[in-house]
Each structure stands twice: as C-alpha cells, then as structure tokens.
Chain A
Amino acid sequence: MSLITRANIARTLLLGFFLLFTFVPLYWMFITSIKPSDDYLAVPPVWFPAEPTMLHYTAALFAYRGLDGLINSVIISAAATLLSTVLGTLMAYSLARFNTGGQHLSFWVLSQRFLPPIAIVLPIFLIYRAVGLHDTHFGLIIAYTVFTLPVTVWMMFAYFRQMPKSLEEAALVDGCTRWQSLWRVAIPLAMPGIVAAAVFAFIACWTEFFFALILTSQTAFTLPTVFRAFLGFQGAQYGEASALAMVSLVPSIILGILVQRHLVRGLTLGAVRG
C-alpha cells in the first residue's frame, strides 16, 4: 500500500471518528427531545422513537417558562449586540486611525477579555442590588455590552487597519466632517466586518450563562439559565431539557455558520486574518 493512500485512510478515519464524536451527543439530545417519556428507561435504549412527540417542547416553553427565557434572551442579546457593536466600532476606528491612547488603551481593553468573570461579577452583583439593577433587562444588557466589547473592538480594530485610509481622507478634503467621513465612507465599507463582529457578539450573549445566573432571577432570566430547573433530583425532565436545548442551539449554529469566513478573526480577536 502506498504512503499516499495510507495517509488518506488515516485522514478518513480521524475525520469520521471526530464527526461521530461531534454528532452523537447532538443526535441523542434531539432524539430525547422528541421521545415519549415511557421510552426513557427502555433497555436496549430507544435510538429512534416509534411515535415522536412534541410534548416536551410545549412543556419546556410554557410550563418551565422557556418561552419567557427565549424572549428575554432575544431582547437582551440583541440590545447588547447593538450597543457593543456601535460602541466597539467607534472605539476601534479611533484606535486604528489615530492610535488613541497609544498601546495602553488598546491593551487595557484587551485585558478585559481575560479577566475571570467571577472576580468581576461579585462586586457587580453587590452594586446592582444596591442600585436596583439586579434582575433587570437593562442591567444584563450593559453587563453583556461590556463583556463583549473587547472582542468587538479588537475585531474591528484589525478590520479598519487593513482598510486604506485614503478614502476617508478623500472624504475630508471633499468637505466632510470627521463624523461624516466615518458615517458615509468608513462604516459602509466596513459593513462586512461589522456584521461579523455583531454576529459573534450575539452568539456570545446568547450562550452566556454565568452572568445571567448571578445577575438575574425571576424576571430577566435568559434561556441558558432555564436549565437550572432540570438539574439535580427534581425528577427526570430529560425531554424538556433537550427540547429547550434544541430551541437554543439552532439559531446560534445557523448564525455561526453564516459568518464562518470570519471565524479565525473572531476567535483570535483579530490577531490572525484567517
């Protein structure tokens, strides 16, 4: 057997194994979400239910307040994404074009990305309780804005850096104010990068658990925190948990795959072009 085909077989095996590894948990969760509760403990396990049911979905959304969580997640993630994208893009533009604050400012923003959340969430919790922001949409929105800002800033920083500045300069000479040259020239041209940064910010908010767990309870709770209801020994709501998981993961996977071209830039905060 030649070396080439041996390498090919190794590659096929590795990719096949890993794809299996990736999809088994997702498959099992999907099946569980449509499996009647009677099939839960069957031996051998039921790999595909004879009579699929949507009962778990309705129960998860209504009985366990999954729908409220979903709505909150949409509101909070969308608002935080909007804020983070707008503020982050403005800041990134300033850093990229004017080197504002030198290296210090940009690295200070970057360092925020690596702060352990536990260190920051404790005092935020205390302050929020004191000023009445605990368990409010607004409170979580601004927390998420700050939490996604470093990524947005650094992604857009890298994006603006590779855009030629002569277009904005032409606009200035043509009679624009700085703001007009930003708004009418730089922003439209950076749109693909801005959209990608926004999608990453949205996914980050959509999947976030830790801040939501601590900063919300009965009103502004997001989708991931609804899973608390299914933990421990409160009975076996496997189907409901799975149904809720499916509802949550489908949108973010679709969004993620739509911007996969920008993935490397997103994961490395713009350090690698990809």
Chain B
Amino acid sequence: MSAPATRFDALSEWSDRHFKWLLVAPAVLLILALSVYPLLFSVWVLFVNYDFTVPGHGFVGLRNFTRVLADPVARWSLWVTILLSTINVTIEFLLGLALALAMVKSFRGRGLIMSLLIIPLFISPVIVGQAWALLLQRPFGPTNYVLSQILGFEVTIGWLTQAPWNFIALVLADVWQWTPFMFVILLAGLTAIPPNLYEAAELDGVDGWRAFWWITLPQLGPMIMLAITFRILDAVRLFDTIFVMTGGGPGTNTYSSSFYLYTLGFTQFHLSEATAGAWMFLVITAILITFLVRRLLKAEPT
C-alpha cells in the first residue's frame, strides 16, 4: 500500500526525522537575533565611546563603568529601586493574602467580585500611573479636598512633587495594579489545600489562628515563594509609573534604576555609559534570579 518514493516523500521523511529541531528553530533563531545578539553587541559597546554627544567609537577601557559608578544618582536610583520593590511586594503580599483568605470560601457574588478584582492586571501601567496622577494631582485631583473634609483642616500635599508623598503615590499605584497578582496565585494555592487537613486539625482542637499558622501557611509555602519570586523579578524593573507620575522628580528624587539608565541613554545620549549601567543592573538581577529561582525550585510547587 505504500506509494512509490518521490522527492516529496524524501522531503517529508527528512522533516519528520528533524521534526523536534525544526519546531524550535524559528523561536530560537528569533530569540538569538533579538536578545542574545544585542547582548553580545552591547559587550562591545561597553568598552568604546558610543555617545550621541561625542562622535567616534574609540576604545575607552573601563571609563563607561567608572563614570556610572561615580555618579551619585546611579547609587541613589539603586536604593530607590530596592526600597520601592521591597515596600511594594510586602504590601501586595499581605493584602493579596488577606484577600485570598477572604475569597477562599464560596459565597454569593464571589464570581463577580473575582472578575472585578483582577481588572487592574489587564491595564497598561502607563494608564494606571495616569489614573493615580489624576486622582492625586494638585490642584485638579480630589484627594486633598477629601482629606481636608475628613481631617477638618486644609490639606495641601504635593503628592507627585513632594517627598515622601511622591513615594507614597508610586506605592499606591503599584499596589493597586499588582495586589491582584498575589491574590490570584495565593487563592489558587489556598484552594488546593485539602480540606481534610482542617477537619483533622479541628478534631485535634486546632482552629482559627493556630490552624492558619500550623496548616495554611506551611501548605501555602511553595506558592508564596512562587508569587513573591515572580513579583520581585518584575518589581525591580519599575519604570512606567515613575515616567508618568513623577517623571523621576522632584529632581532625581524618584529615579529608579531603569529610569536612571533610560535618562542616561535617551535624554543625555550617553549610550555606552547607559549600557555599562544596564550590564551592572543585569548582573545584580541575575544574582537575584539565581538566588530566588534556586530556592523556588527547592520548594517545588505543584
């Protein structure tokens, strides 16, 4: 019943033999072209002059690195990144956990509330920043007015222009957008805890807070690790809301690392210095990834 061998058969046979590699080839080539090749190219940029304000690509040794390292704004922006990521992820975790606990039992309207709570995840961070800017901005936003009414005295906070309020504004926007992320993952984790664990514990006289500490948290452990890891790795990239809300200001007060490198490269056009900074940032992130992902793999979520 087999047909006579034709050239098409030979081709079909060849493509079946190399099937698994043919399937991955396009994606791998694209990643090589747009991620690996640029990174390799940037290694060259690290050691030359690549600056729209200074012509030529002469070799400059480690100058690009030393200039970034000497820049106090670079160090400040790293602190801002660490500070904001830590605060953001902590608040998002606690709030997300509380929400997940509140949503784990089924009640009327749960499905609808679920759909409403996850809405922020589908909105561009630029728009989130814009929305919070509108709400907080003087003199347009209603925040100061509402606070004045509640507190009984005139509130005139420059939410986007005055430290530390500008940080609080950034935290608000980030918490608004990403608490649902924690909530969704932790809820999935809570739902997966077998209910008979609680029943057994109840027979042993364990309930309420103690059940939470002794059963819920340990069972949820791997999921918590996963949620926090994923969130941290995104939180350290913080850029969009800063760009929209404070523009890094006042001055360089709310520069995050990404924002600092962006201004260095694209408003001051010191591209090779920005590349050097980006590589240092990449190395810090890589260390963080290795550390976090290794712990994550050890915890091994289901």
Contacts and interface: CB of A to CB of B under 8 A. Distances in A.
Interface of A: 3, 10-11, 14-15, 18-19, 21-26, 28-29, 32, 40-41, 43-45, 47, 87-88, 90-91, 93-95, 97-98, 100-101, 105, 109, 111-112, 114-120, 122-127, 142-143, 145-146, 149, 153, 177-179, 203, 206-210, 213-214, 223-224, 227, 230-232, 236, 238, 241-242, 245, 248-249, 252-253, 255-257, 260, 263-264, 267-268, 271-274
Contact of B115 (A43, A117, A249, A257): A257
B145 A41 contact: no
Contact of B41 (A40, A93, A123, A149): A123
Contact of A118 (B37, B176, B278): B278
Given A15-B99, A179-B16, A127 B302 contact: no
A184 B136 CA distance: 55
Given A120-B38, A123-B275, A245-B127, 17 more contacts: A15-B103, A15-B113, A22-B116, A25-B176, A28-B142, A44-B142, A90-B24, A94-B19, A94-B21, A116-B278, A118-B278, A120-B39, A210-B239, A227-B127, A252-B124, A253-B122, A253-B123
Contact of A249 (B102, B122, B181, B302): B122
A264 to B, nearest CB: 5
A179 B34 CA distance: 27
List the 3 shortest-distance A-B pairs measured between CB atoms, nearest first.
A256-B122, A207-B124, A123-B38
B24 A105 contact: yes
B131 A94 contact: no
B188 A264 contact: yes
Contacts of B141: 28
Nearest to A172: B16
B262 interface: yes
B198 to A, nearest CB: 14
Given A91-B24, A256-B118, A260-B114, A122 B42 contact: yes
B185 A272 contact: yes
Interface residues of B, number: 90
Main secondary structure of the interface of A (DSSP, over half): helix
B281 A22 contact: no
A29 B134 contact: yes
B188 A115 contact: no
A119 B124 contact: no
Interface string B267-282: 0000100110011011
B140 A238 contact: yes
B223 interface: yes
A209 B123 contact: no
B289 interface: yes
A274 B39 CA distance: 35
B176 A263 contact: no
Nearest to A245: B127
Contacts of B279: 119
Interface string B232-275: 01001101100110010000000001100110011000010011
